[in-house]
Structure 1
Amino acid sequence: MTFVLVVDDDPSIRRTLSVNLRARGYDVEAAGDGRSALQIVDERMPDAILLDLGLPDVDGVAVLTRLRTFSSVPVIVVSARTEPDDKVEALDLGADDYISKPFSLEELLARVRVVTRRAGQETPSPCLELDGLSLDIDDSRASRDGESIHLTPTEWKLVAHLARRRGQLVRQGELLHAVWGPTYERNSNYLRVHLSAIRHKLERDPAHPTLFVTEPGLGYRFAPRLTDAR
């Protein structure tokens, strides 16, 4: 189920958008300020964010700037600010779309469908070579120095999700949601166990990993220094 975060200081807009998105099958959370929005993102990465700029604490521009330091989640700005400079600034900072208030509900829902569909399109899976290690994500094949390495289906899901976000921080909640589903988003022990197994299979020195790196208290990062084999 597609998860949409609605961020707006107007309770009536939060309520209207939440009700209409849920009626169309979306999973929805709402936040009335920037700090609450970032807290939700920290616990569970949305599939799309509807972001007001005029928030009471942290300005929406600051929220967008912070988001883009660690995530490419689609963001649609929904704002009463109609000056071209405001739109240009938001888009330059990484917003995927901008719609002005008052807005047509059907148009906004259509834009949500567009950005989530675009984000859901399969990106090419990497085939990687590094220090004798070969990873072919599409074919779920791994080997080191020509010897095959067996990974379980769950381990491959973790490796694939991290590899497709190469160099980016992937939050614990996002990774748990992607691999196990929404009911497991607080089971961080699952990640520790499986990442430990992955490191023992794929790292030269599992005690000092250089591929699957832990960001304490935040999540994980696939951060190899490598070139694509393709």
Structure 2
Amino acid sequence: MKYSIMVIEDNSSIRKELANLLCKSGYEAKEVTDFQNAAEIVEETRPHLILLDINLPGIDGFQLCSQIRTHSAVPIIFVTSRNTDLDELMSITLGGDDFVTKPYNTAVLMARVASLLKRAYPETAEDVFEHKGVKLHILASCVEYNARRVELSRNELKIMHYLMQNKGKIVGRGDLVEFLWDSEAFVDDNTLSVNITRIRGKLGELGVEEFIHTKRGQGYLI
């Protein structure tokens, strides 16, 4: 399966250039020109990564990033001519994952795209894991049950992936925290508890109860 990358850029020549560059690098490129409805388009099409400009007509990239973050954890790279420290700080604070200034080096940009995709989506020969009727879709970053789906955040995806890989075994809390740290995710024991609670809540939305069992003093078991 190809990674799908969305380009949200109002300059048509730059947008075409980025789309062509992505296609030549083996990705599927999607160009967006309806900036006012871009957040809805992201929710409908579910790209794996977004290249986002800051200066857009009618709405700026910061606002759009905030809108996207209300429903999606998709990786976002700001690609912009604005190059102040405040712009970069704003982009990260509002949920961006990387910040690249124009004019960009195409090789460096593609390296950053590849690096972010590698961090965001666990490497696995399998895209779908299944246990007790619950399906975990790695590339789509969601769980499915009875044909209904709910999206997972990056940390939630990594936790579910690790539990699915070790189904039938007790996974220690320390092992999970260490796994997430090794995956460059910022987490501590409290953050792990919060994420487990959120995963259980999302599974509950699908009608799945008691999927993740807590083994007191030991860890978790599915």
TM-score, normalised with respect to structure 2: 0.60
Which of residues 125, 135, 142 in structure 2 aligns to 1:161? 142
Report how far residue 57 of structure 1 moved. 1.6
**Cα distance between partner residues in 2 of 1:224 and 1:33:** 42
Instruction: Determine which of 170, 173, 176 is the counterpart of 2:151.
Output: 170
RCO higher in 1 or 2 (8 Å CA, sep ≥ 6)? Answer: 1
How far did residue 98 of structure 1 move? Answer: 0.0
Matched, 1:11 2:24: no
Larger Rg: 1
| Native 8 Å contact 2:135 2:143 kept in 1 | no
Q: Does the C-alpha gap of structure 1 residues 83 and 21 become closer, same or farther in structure 2, counting only changes over 3 Å?
A: same
SS in 2 for 1:6: strand
Q: Is the 8 A contact 2:43 2:71 kept in 1?
A: no
Q: Show the counterpart of 1:95.
A: 96
CA distance in 1, matches of 2:208, 2:36: 27
Could you report, residue by residue, the CA deviation over 1:44-88 in whole angstroms, capped at 9, with x for unpaired residues?
Answer: 111100000000022100110111111111100001111101100
Distance in structure 1 (CA, Å) of the matches to 2:65 and 2:75: 11
Structure 1 residue 4: Cα displacement = 0.1
| Residue 120, structure 1, aligned to residue 112, structure 2 | no
Report the equivalent of 1:86. 87
Q: Which consecutive residues of structure 1, in runs of 5 or more, have no partner in the other structure? A: 124-136, 143-150, 172-208, 215-220
Contact 2:7 2:51 in 1 (8 A): yes
**Alpha-carbon deviations, 1:120-161, whole Å to 9, x = none?**
1259xxxxxxxxxxxxx97x544xxxxxxxx3xxx5347x93
Shift in Å at residue 20 of structure 1? 1.2
1:213 aligns with 2:205: yes
For 1:17 and 1:5, the matched residues in 2 are separated by 10
- Over the aligned positions, Cα root-mean-square deviation in angstroms equals 3.3
Cα separation, 1, equivalents of 2:208 and 2:82 = 38
User: What's 2:73 paired with?
Assistant: 72
Aligned 8 A contact 1:47 1:74 in 2? yes
Change (3 A) 1:225 1:66: farther
Alpha carbons 1:212, 1:223 under 8 Å: kept: yes
In 1, Cα distance between equivalents of 2:71 and 2:101 = 26
Distance 1:210 1:28 in 2: 30
Unaligned ranges ≥5, structure 2:
153-200
Counterpart residue type for residue 9 of structure 2:
D
Is contact 1:52-1:77 (8 Å) kept?
A: yes
| Pairwise CA distance, 1:94 | 1.3
Distance 1:141 1:43, change over 3 A: closer
Q: Structure 2: how far apart are the matches of 1:21 and 1:54?
A: 21
